[in-house]
Structure 1
Amino acid sequence: MENKMIRLKKIKYIFILILFIFHSNCLWKQIGNGYTTKAKIPVYGKPDVASQVLFEIPKNSDFLIIEKLSNKETKLTNDWWKIKKDNRVGYIIDKRDYANLIFLPLQKPQFGLVAATSLFLRSEPNVESKAIEKLKTKDIVEILEESPSTISVNGKQGNWMKIKAKSQNIGYVFSPYIVIGDTEEILTTLSDFETKESGWVYVKNKPGYVHQLYNKKLVKINNEQVEEDQFYYVKSRYVTKEGKVFFRVIKQTSKQDDWYSEIETTVLTDCYLPAESVVLSNKFASLYSKIRINDKLENRIFEYLSKDVDYDIDPDITSIETFQWKKNQYYMIATTFKYEEEACIGCFLAESKNIVFVLKEKGNSFETIFQSAGRRSADLEPYANPPRVVINTSPMPEGDDDPGAIDSDTYELKGDKFVFMGRKRN
């Protein structure tokens, strides 16, 4: 009898333990996935930055999303995510600095059609991760999860999607190259279609013909617009029902007689070129340096800046100064914006070399320690003690201030940062 009671007690304890484990798993029900793009993301014991940091998530790591704590529904000052990583549970703050990419299941099924000439399906939501498969133009994929965070990848704005390919491989693609539809049937019936695009192409050899759009169809015409060894701005991507990709390219000049007049634009080129006849890039600087510049250091710098900033810069109007400071190697870059227009006469644009970057060499790459711009110009003083940058700005023409006045802001290198030292009006 006594042995029977002992066995019953053991069964009771085992049953309680099973209930506890089951209950614990229910508490940590997953509602989505997360991924870090920066190193050492702190995980707090409570949804409060003053609470204890339990652990840190390394760069390029995934974790589980358990719950979202919205500041609209609570008294918290920020939105927070309750997460689980390696059987540890805590809270991370919901920031919009791309440190955390949050992937949540879609409310209803969605599908995507590949609009790129080819697109890598990657193991993680970053361009450095392993390529699982190369998707082809007009391949249809199932969208499983999507990150609401809009980010810039090589100068193109979009968000990462977790998808399933026809091969059943699951991975991540970047959204600008995907046309979204509610069903596979809708996407399958798409004939020729056009999507927005931004970037640049280089044409090595002058084509004998180009294409124009008539009645929503591309028609071949003799080429009187496109020259060889030239760069053109990309406005859109056109995909035919056969899966061929074309880019609409433009070249234009503008002028403005005075501040209050309209800008007049003269179109020099506006046509469609097949993808295989051009070299394409999201950013002008990386494309230009690849074609025109033989110096390896300059190529590295322009490739880095193309990924680091969202706008286009012009390597053809750029100066690079180098200096050493406290055993570190630095580079000062004075450059200017690259606009769609080949020229804009009288458009009150900034002078050449009005943007400044200071890069610190870091292994095989760089770190941006200073970035600024003025409406006039920028002066580099790498051999001053300490090194300095002067940003020159003038008031806008339509204001009450004298547009001929120049305000000069001086920055000096203090420690590992450039610090504002004062303004002088000339």
Structure 2
Amino acid sequence: MHKNKFPSLIRLSIALIFFLFLYTCASVPIGFGVVLQKDIKVYSKPTLKSEIAFSLDQSSPYDVLAADLQDKDSVSKLLWFKIHQKDKVGFISKEEESIKNNVLNFLPVTGDKFGLVTATQLLLRETPSTGGKILGRLATRDIVELIEEHSKKVTIDEMQGTWAKIKTKDGKIGFAFTAYLMRGVSPDVLSKTETIELRQTGWAILKKDPSKIFTFSKGKLIPSSEIPYELKKDAEVYFTNKLVTTQGKVYFYISGEKAPNEYDYDHSDDETKIVYSGYLPSDILKTYSTHSKLYLSNHQPSLNRNFLETIDKALDGNADLATVRETEHFFGKKKVYHVEVDRKSIYVDDEYPHTRNLLILKEGNSYTNLHVGIGNIEFTDLDGDGIDEVMVTETSGRSGDISQILYQFNGYGFNSLLAFSGYNGECGHITYSGSSIFRNSTNCSKESKEKIKIFEYVLKKGKLVPVR
């Protein structure tokens, strides 16, 4: 009887060791996560149908125990992270927008694990955000080790990259934005790179008159003391490229061109369009990702800064804030601005910039963009209730096609009352007289009249009433 006792104990010990091994592996972190907003829910199982186990504590990072776990209950096959925070274990969804925007999961770097700084200065931060405490400043061509990285790309100052946890050559650990790191397999490989040419666009203002302008050929910068008269102190220039030399100096390629001639279909005069071009050293330039940031940093605008930033955001950073023309319109107690603003041109002599029309709602000290377009905007009180209706008309170039929408303010935005898209100039366009709104057919051919629906409405108490 006792002969079988020890083999049984041995088998039991092996099983216990095996299960302990599995438990340990399941509990060893493969990465970590950072919470950027409160009340992020953690589920008890990797499915949205499970119960909420707990909420993430914003003040503490958490461990990532497993990644890309399949959700068998989801038709869309959501992927999940298994996490651990303060003795609690649960799951967060990788695909949920709220999670994507407010939680960053960092996993070990599997590709090139070293980076060479290509910025004139790269900030090392305590947390992975532009508001994180600054721990240090990395110089051009400094080499760092990437430890863990967030997979989701973000755009900061028009540059796209990720946040990574890095270690500097003097042992400091923090977070950096990887758009300004050139990746490599080893410090030796990166240190041997010669002059690096990178694509980067933006605007710059000259801090002083340049003494030289450079061309770049066969890996060398060639200086010239013949400086175009346009390049003086306080001049605003557009740049498209950046050079990082072996000595750690940075140069930006600036260029100025004449606006293209709309009748020059074969571009035969391309060579005569160049006003100036070449590389200038970064130490005589103040660079900005967009012209609006340059404008707001170097001028004292008469308009509210939040208002101008709302305008610029509506135009994706391409607004020429020096050209803003605004008029106020009241809808009861609400104020809406009609704004006309030009898109900033990269040409030095653009006499016909593209103008945009915006409608911006003001509530307290905040502003909300309600509409952006290229057409005409008219404010008219059609039903005599003291509150304007808004007609937005967009045209499509030489074709003469027209798009019209008649809007009514609802207290928070605009509802569409009536819409029309047409053709052949003004044939069939919406017009109004008094409270009557009808489709104009006076310029229509017989064939066009047959294709459009003629109508007439009267606007009464905010509602369209057909005229029979």
TM-score category of the 2 structures, normalised to the smaller one = 0.7 to 0.9
Q: Which residue of 1 is the match for residue 438 of structure 2?
A: none
Contact residue 334 and residue 378 of structure 1 kept, 8 A: no
Contact residue 46 and residue 70 of structure 2 kept, 8 A: no
Shift of 1:376: 2.9
Change (3 A) 1:390 1:155: farther
| Cα distance in structure 2, aligned partners of 1:42 and 1:263 | 61
| Cα distance in structure 1, aligned partners of 2:332 and 2:26 | 53
Which residue identity lines up with residue 296 of structure 2 in the other structure?
Answer: S
Identify which range, 85-94 or 282-291, moves more after superposition: 85-94
Q: Which residue of 1 is the match for residue 232 of structure 2?
A: 227
Contact residue 318 and residue 353 of structure 1 kept, 8 A: no
Is the counterpart of residue 272 in structure 1 residue 279 in structure 2?
A: yes
| Cα distance in structure 2, aligned partners of 1:263 and 1:64 | 62
| Cα distance in structure 1, aligned partners of 2:22 and 2:395 | 66
Aligned residues: 397
Q: Among residues 167, 170, 183, which one is paired with 2:170 in the alignment?
A: 167
Shift of 1:84: 3.0
| Cα distance in structure 1, aligned partners of 2:268 and 2:319 | 22
Q: Which residue of 2 is the match for residue 65 of structure 1?
A: 64
Is the counterpart of residue 209 in structure 1 residue 212 in structure 2?
A: yes
Counterparts of 1:180-329 in structure 2, within 5 Å, are 180-222=183-225, 223-224=227-228, 226-257=231-262, 265=270, 266-295=273-302, 298-303=304-309, 310-320=316-326
Counterparts of 1:122-137 in structure 2, within 5 Å, are 122-137=125-140
Shift of 1:139: 0.7
Contact residue 206 and residue 226 of structure 1 kept, 8 A: yes
Q: Indicate the SS of the match to 1:128.
A: coil
| Cα distance in structure 1, aligned partners of 2:21 and 2:341 | 61
1:168-188 alpha-carbon deviations (Å, 9 max, x no partner): 111111122111111100111
1:2-55 alpha-carbon deviations (Å, 9 max, x no partner): xxxxxxxxxxxxxx9x99998655434323233344554333334444544444
Q: Which residue of 2 is the match for residue 30 of structure 1?
A: 29
1:122-171 alpha-carbon deviations (Å, 9 max, x no partner): 11111111001111111100011222212111332222122111121111
Contact residue 203 and residue 238 of structure 2 kept, 8 A: yes
- Between the aligned residues of both structures, percent identity stands at 23
Tell me the TM-score normalized by structure 1: 0.77
Q: Which residue of 1 is the match for residue 158 of structure 2?
A: 155
Q: Among residues 312, 335, 340, which one is paired with 2:341 in the alignment?
A: 335
| Cα distance in structure 2, aligned partners of 1:81 and 1:141 | 30
| Cα distance in structure 2, aligned partners of 1:386 and 1:29 | 64
Tell me the TM-score normalized by structure 2: 0.71
Higher relative contact order (CA 8 A, sep 6+): 1
Contact residue 329 and residue 361 of structure 1 kept, 8 A: no
Contact residue 314 and residue 369 of structure 2 kept, 8 A: no
Change (3 A) 1:410 1:47: farther
Identify which range, 91-100 or 385-394, moves more after superposition: 385-394
**Structure of greater Rg:** 2
Which residue identity lines up with residue 343 of structure 2 in the other structure?
Answer: F
TM-align CA RMSD: 3.9
| Cα distance in structure 1, aligned partners of 2:35 and 2:313 | 18
| Cα distance in structure 2, aligned partners of 1:74 and 1:50 | 8
Shift of 1:379: 6.2
Q: Which residue of 2 is the match for residue 8 of structure 1?
A: none
Shift of 1:380: 7.9
| Cα distance in structure 2, aligned partners of 1:107 and 1:405 | 53
Which residue identity lines up with residue 252 of structure 1 in the other structure?
Answer: E
Q: Which residue of 2 is the match for residue 3 of structure 1?
A: none
Shift of 1:237: 1.4
Is the counterpart of residue 84 in structure 1 residue 87 in structure 2?
A: no
Contact residue 353 and residue 377 of structure 1 kept, 8 A: no
Contact residue 66 and residue 81 of structure 1 kept, 8 A: no
Which residue identity lines up with residue 337 of structure 1 in the other structure?
Answer: R
| Cα distance in structure 2, aligned partners of 1:65 and 1:380 | 56
Q: Indicate the SS of the match to 1:212.
A: strand
Q: Which residue of 1 is the match for residue 375 of structure 2?
A: 376
Which residue identity lines up with residue 66 of structure 1 in the other structure?
Answer: L
| Cα distance in structure 1, aligned partners of 2:370 and 2:38 | 22
Q: Which residue of 2 is the match for residue 105 of structure 1?
A: 108
Change (3 A) 1:255 1:104: same
Q: Indicate the SS of the match to 1:394.
A: strand
Q: Which residue of 2 is the match for residue 394 of structure 1?
A: 395
Q: Indicate the SS of the match to 1:112.
A: strand
Which residue identity lines up with residue 240 of structure 2 in the other structure?
Answer: K
| Cα distance in structure 2, aligned partners of 1:60 and 1:326 | 44
| Cα distance in structure 1, aligned partners of 2:147 and 2:284 | 35
Shift of 1:357: 4.8
1:338-358 alpha-carbon deviations (Å, 9 max, x no partner): 243345678xx7x41235554
Q: Which residue of 2 is the match for residue 407 of structure 1?
A: 403
Identify which range, 33-42 or 283-292, moves more after superposition: 33-42
| Cα distance in structure 1, aligned partners of 2:317 and 2:256 | 18
| Cα distance in structure 1, aligned partners of 2:108 and 2:247 | 32
